[in-house]
């Protein structure tokens, strides 16, 4: 579940500018209550999602009238689950056999309802990335609503996006973009996307669709009003969402994040769209890896060093080229095919040895810059915009002092992954910025292609780690 250059596309035709980052720990969601009823039997919901976690119930959209409700989301086993309840008892239920556990890529889900259909399996149609999930083999539970059943979508009761029917529990964790509800039409996936010449499902412009009475379109382009309905209806109200939850990580330009599937031995806590990492307090020194594999090109990203349970930092920021095996004795600083900056002394370490004098101790609140140059196989670091000079100072305007790493083609993965960890039993906290920060940026610097939002200037020839750049340089 990783992104390589060959999986990337640069020219997507219709480009999606923004998404919204939902952090389940914040109980973040949107809601509105329609003033009048629409078509409760016929509607379509389309949304693009990049999940950040799994293993728990997560609700995408819910409509409720007291103890009668309709829910669309994920079950605790990461299957899609749609069901309706009357007096809190389930009366229909559709659940996929497939489990959706890719945290590196964007999915498109289309849920098309028409309970007036005579054939039961036509009353609810589910499409994943443009392909219909077939009733014959795609579902585990498959009990359809009765003909002419009235759901609680498009009813005059509270509708929620990203949360359970009672405003608690089932909070969605991840990114959403292009969230579209169409009232009074059962549409197929081609109303929301298309396959390009390489077979990749991509979004199309949906602004010309007819919303119906209670339909809405969330494009998340207004950071001051993330619930803005582009169709012109009543806006949704944001709860526990801020301007910093707007992201440029979208279904047409996917950015690198940390990967929950490469976090087993470290057992770090990942939040905020997998951009905030807190290492375990035990001696799990194995690093956590990111979602993008890098084989060539020049790349830049940043990380704010935000917390440390020790008096002297034992943090390690770097790259990994081999599978992480075991929780201890496998830090980026201890073995081959792993290279890192040791925050305690500000120098580059590899294979349990200091290999390059660089700067000096990294303090709390500092922003660390990481330069990866796989055209020349070099790695180096900056502190608060100043690059290490090799003599204990962070005062260089460009990355001139570096360490040469083994070529990506020679390591076990055939590529390197950005990685974060520690080198002790303490807990280290990072806020990581691959180009879509989860925190406010004061200066705003992008790369030469206009991608990314960084605190400090991007070094010449370096680029943010996203699929559009990967298609061109990776």
pLDDT for 250-299, tens place per residue? 999 999 999 999 988 889 999 999 999 999 887 778 899 999 999 999 99
Which CATH number characterizes residue 179's domain?
2.60.120.200
Give the count of domains, the chain: 2
Assigned domain for 30 exists: yes
pLDDT score recorded for residue 67: 84
Same domain, 268 and 184: no
Q: Of the candidates 470, 271, 239, which has an alpha carbon nearest to the alpha carbon of residue 374?
A: 470
Same domain, 185 and 287: no
Placement of tokens 């406010």 in the chain: 440
pLDDT at residue 179 greater than cutoff 90: yes
Assigned domain for 5 exists: no
Same domain, 360 and 415: yes
pLDDT at residue 203 greater than cutoff 70: yes
Specify whether the CB–CB gap between 114 and 84 falls below 8 A: no
What band does 1 get if pLDDT is binned at 50, 70 and 90? Answer: very low
Same domain, 394 and 457: yes
Q: What does the alpha-carbon distance between residue 279 and residue 296 come to, in Å, rounded to a whole number? A: 29
Measured in whole angstroms, how far is the alpha carbon of residue 249 from the centre of its chain? Answer: 7
pLDDT at residue 2 greater than cutoff 60: no
Assigned domain for 11 exists: no
Instruction: Select from 216, 247, 278 the last residue of a domain.
Output: 247
pLDDT score recorded for residue 380: 98
Same domain, 144 and 279: no
Percentage of residues in the chain with pLDDT exceeding 70? 97
Mean pLDDT of the chain: 93
Placement of tokens 């939040």 in the chain: 271
Assigned domain for 308 exists: yes
pLDDT at residue 184 greater than cutoff 90: yes
pLDDT at residue 379 greater than cutoff 90: yes
pLDDT score recorded for residue 443: 93
pLDDT score recorded for residue 165: 76
Q: Of the candidates 78, 246, 77, 62, which has an alpha carbon nearest to the alpha carbon of residue 163?
A: 62
pLDDT in tens, 58-76: 999 999 877 889 999 999 9
What Cα–Cα distance (Å) separates residue 231 from each residue in 188, 211, 314, 346? 20, 7, 51, 52
pLDDT at residue 7 greater than cutoff 50: no
Percentage of residues in the chain with pLDDT exceeding 90? 83
Assigned domain for 271 exists: yes
The residues with which 347 forms a beta bridge, in sequence order, are: 342
Same domain, 290 and 193: no
Same domain, 128 and 29: yes
Q: What does the alpha-carbon distance between residue 273 and residue 252 come to, in Å, rounded to a whole number? A: 17
What band does 159 get if pLDDT is binned at 50, 70 and 90? Answer: very high
Q: Is 129 exposed, middle or buried (0-12, 13-18, 19+ CB in 10 A)?
A: middle
Assigned domain for 345 exists: yes
pLDDT score recorded for residue 3: 47
What band does 11 get if pLDDT is binned at 50, 70 and 90? Answer: low
pLDDT at residue 4 greater than cutoff 70: no
Same domain, 302 and 429: yes
Instruction: Select from 189, 216, 247 the last residue of a domain.
Output: 247
Same domain, 290 and 188: no
pLDDT score recorded for residue 137: 73
Domain that holds residue 26: 17-247
Confidence (pTM): 0.95
Q: What does the alpha-carbon distance between residue 1 and residue 228 come to, in Å, rounded to a whole number? A: 33
Q: What does the alpha-carbon distance between residue 454 and residue 248 come to, in Å, rounded to a whole number? A: 12
Which CATH number characterizes residue 360's domain?
2.60.120.920
What Cα–Cα distance (Å) separates residue 399 from each residue in 233, 387, 458, 463? 51, 6, 10, 14
Provide the token pair at 273: 């769209």
Specify whether the CB–CB gap between 249 and 19 falls below 8 A: yes
Provide the token pair at 445: 């610097």
Range 447-463 average pLDDT? 98
Same domain, 114 and 232: yes
Assigned domain for 2 exists: no
If one compares 190 and 308, the residue with the highest pLDDT of the two is: 190
Assigned domain for 6 exists: no
Instruction: Select from 195, 212, 247 the last residue of a domain.
Output: 247
Same domain, 284 and 429: yes
pLDDT score recorded for residue 12: 60
Q: Of the candidates 451, 454, 432, 429, which has an alpha carbon nearest to the alpha carbon of residue 441?
A: 454
Same domain, 291 and 400: yes
């Amino acid at each position: 579940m990783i992104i390589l250059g060959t999986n990337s596309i640069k020219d997507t035709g219709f480009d999606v500018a923004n998404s919204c980052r939902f952090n389940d720990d914040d109980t973040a969601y949107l809601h509105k209550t329609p003033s009048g009823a629409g078509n409760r039997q016929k509607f379509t919901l389309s949304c693009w999602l990049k999940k950040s976690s799994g293993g728990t119930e997560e609700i995408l959209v819910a409509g409720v009238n007291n103890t009668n409700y309709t829910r669309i989301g994920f079950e605790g086993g990461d299957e899609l689950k749609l069901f309706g309840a009357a007096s809190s008892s389930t009366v229909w239920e559709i659940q996929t056999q497939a489990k959706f556990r890719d945290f590196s890529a964007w999915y498109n889900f289309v849920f098309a309802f028409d309970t007036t259909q005579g054939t039961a399996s036509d009353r609810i149609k589910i499409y994943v990335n443009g392909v219909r999930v077939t009733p014959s083999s795609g579902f585990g539970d498959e009990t359809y609503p009765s003909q002419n059943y009235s759901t609680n979508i498009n009813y005059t009761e509270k509708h929620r996006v990203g949360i359970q029917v009672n405003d608690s529990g089932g909070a969605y964790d991840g990114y959403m973009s292009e969230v579209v509800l169409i009232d009074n039409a059962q549409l197929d996936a081609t109303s929301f996307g298309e396959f390009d010449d390489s077979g990749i499902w991509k979004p199309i412009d949906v602004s010309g669709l007819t919303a119906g009475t209670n339909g809405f379109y969330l494009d998340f382009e207004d950071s001051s009003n993330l619930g803005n309905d582009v169709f012109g209806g009543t806006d949704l109200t944001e709860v526990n969402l801020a301007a910093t939850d707007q992201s440029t990580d979208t279904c047409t330009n996917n950015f690198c994040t940390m990967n929950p599937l490469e976090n087993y031995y470290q057992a770090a806590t990942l939040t905020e769209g997998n951009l905030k990492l807190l290492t375990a307090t035990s001696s799990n020194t194995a690093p956590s890896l990111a979602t993008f594999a890098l084989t060539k090109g020049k790349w830049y990203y940043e990380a704010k060093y935000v917390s440390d349970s020790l008096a002297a930092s034992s943090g390690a920021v770097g790259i990994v080229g081999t599978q992480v095996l075991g929780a201890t004795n496998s830090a980026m600083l201890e073995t081959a095919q792993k290279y890192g900056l040791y925050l305690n002394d500000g120098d580059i370490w590899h294979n349990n040895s200091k290999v390059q004098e660089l700067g000096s101790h990294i303090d709390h609140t500092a922003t660390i810059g990481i330069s990866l140059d796989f055209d020349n196989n070099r790695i180096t670091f900056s502190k608060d915009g100043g690059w290490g000079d090799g003599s204990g100072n962070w005062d260089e305007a460009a990355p001139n002092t570096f360490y040469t790493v083994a070529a990506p083609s020679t390591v076990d993965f055939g590529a390197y992954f950005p990685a974060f960890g520690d080198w002790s039993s303490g807990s280290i906290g990072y806020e990581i910025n691959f180009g879509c920060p989860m925190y406010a940026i004061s200066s705003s610097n992008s790369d030469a292609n206009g991608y990314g939002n960084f605190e400090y200037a991007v070094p010449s020839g370096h680029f943010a780690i996203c699929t559009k750049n990967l298609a061109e340089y990776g």
